[in-house]
Amino acid sequence: MVIEDLKDPGERSLLDGLIYFLNILLAYKWLIMSVTFVVTAAVVVYCYVSVMLPPDQSPMPNQYSANAIIIVQQNDQNNIADTILEAMGASAAVGTNSFNSSAMLMEVLRSRTLIDSLIKEFSLNDRYGIPESAKGQARNVVMGHLRYYFSPTTGMLSIMYTDTDPVMARDIVNRLVELLDRWVKDNYNLDKQRKRELLEKKLTEVDGQIITIQKRLQSLRTRYGVMSGNELGAGLYSVAEEFNQLTNELEVQQRIYNTLSPQFEAAKLSSEYEQIFQIFELAETPDEKSGPRRSVFVMMAFGGSFVGSSILAVLLSVLRAIRLKKKASF
């Protein structure tokens, strides 16, 4: 089929350009159909082979995503200590409600401590062909398989791992949840435990001092037969001074005890009930693949080969028109 000679683009209307382009497609229809068919068929065969081959040999193996969901407590439990302190008449701590549990959990999940534990327990270096010395590369590969999604409206944190082995994907996710739970129990409440132990130690010390002062006061009362230093005569000035000093020390120690006691009780109750996340559901073995989407891959190959062959047809047509124009000029 002969294509008309090239015209100045400014002299060609939109309809003329469309007709010209359609004529080119018709003239090179066998080229376009052949290229499109060959490329699409090759991609279809490639996808079929990738399905039939074992995952470790397939160029595009099926991927399976296991998912576990935990519910993050958004600071509700963090207020228990302050509530108890207020109920006991003590002042609450300032700024305790600004703590973000979900952000902390996300950082822990991405930490080297947990990722390295997964790599070691599941021998992921061998699985992904990474040398033992390349720790950074191994962490990046594992993080590439991990996904975290947090919903602020529901307070749910989803932990997902994608792998060609659905059982391993499930085991890795569930193990990660276990490691997270252990880390929270071992580290998150550590400061609270230390504070409780310090308060308990201080209360014991203050209580001992109160008992000692009370014994000394009782000894003076029994010896001189009075209840306070003001009842002593002028000749017993030094004894009265000691009496008053012990009374003041007793009042100070009792105020300290009354201040620390509600804080200690609040610390005990807070540590008993505080829990920053709950496991909503653990991962199960996925029975449906999460990728790759081979149908989309085939459609992209079809569309790309059609567009590419059409552009090639236009270029060949332009080159042919230029040659014909040069021949006509001689």
CA atoms within 13 A on the CB side of 126: 4
AA identity, residue 56: D
Give residue-wise pLDDT tens across range 76-122: 444 444 544 454 455 544 444 445 788 888 899 999 999 999 999 99
The helix or strand, by DSSP H or E, that contains position 277, with its residue range, turns out to be strand 277-281
What 3 state SS string does 142-188 have? HHHHEEEEEECCCCEEEEEEEECCHHHHHHHHHHHHHHHHHHHHHHH
How many other CB atoms are found less than 10 A from the CB of residue 85?
19
Q: Which CATH number fits domain 64-189+276-281: 3.30.1890.10, 3.30.70.1450, 3.40.50.2300, 3.90.78.10?
A: 3.30.1890.10
Across the chain, what does the average pLDDT equal?
80
CA distance 8 to 134: 61
Closest to 20 (Cα-Cα) out of 39, 38, 1: 1
Q: Tell me the three state secondary structure of residue 54.
A: coil
**pLDDT value at position 33?**
92
**Strand-by-strand arrangement of the 146-151 sheet:** 146-151, 156-163, 64-72, 277-281
The distance from CA 153 to its chain's CA centroid, rounded to whole angstroms, is 16
Query: Could you give phi then psi for residue 154, rounded to 5 degrees?
Result: -105, -15
Mark out the alpha helices in the chain (DSSP H runs): 14-27, 29-52, 80-87, 101-109, 112-121, 124-127, 135-145, 166-183, 190-224, 237-273, 294-329
Interval 196-244: pLDDT, tens: 788 888 888 888 888 888 888 788 777 766 655 555 555 566 666 777 7
Tell me the C-alpha distance between 174 and 169, whole Å. Answer: 9
Q: Which of 228, 276, 281 is nearest to 250 (CA)?
A: 228
User: Does 166 sit behind a cis peptide bond, omega within 30 degrees of 0 on the bond before it?
Assistant: no
Question: Domain locations in the chain?
Answer: 9-57+292-329, 64-189+276-281, 192-273
**Global model pTM greater than 0.75:** no
What percent of the chain clears pLDDT 70, i.e. is strictly above it?
79
pLDDT at 302: 93
- Residue 46 tokens read as 């490639």
Give me the pLDDT at residue 130, please: 92
What lies within 8 Å, CB to CB, of 162 at 6+ separation is 63, 64, 65, 145, 147, 169, 290, 291
Handedness of CA 306, 308, 312, 317 (dihedral sign): positive
Q: What is the largest CA-CA distance in the chain?
A: 144
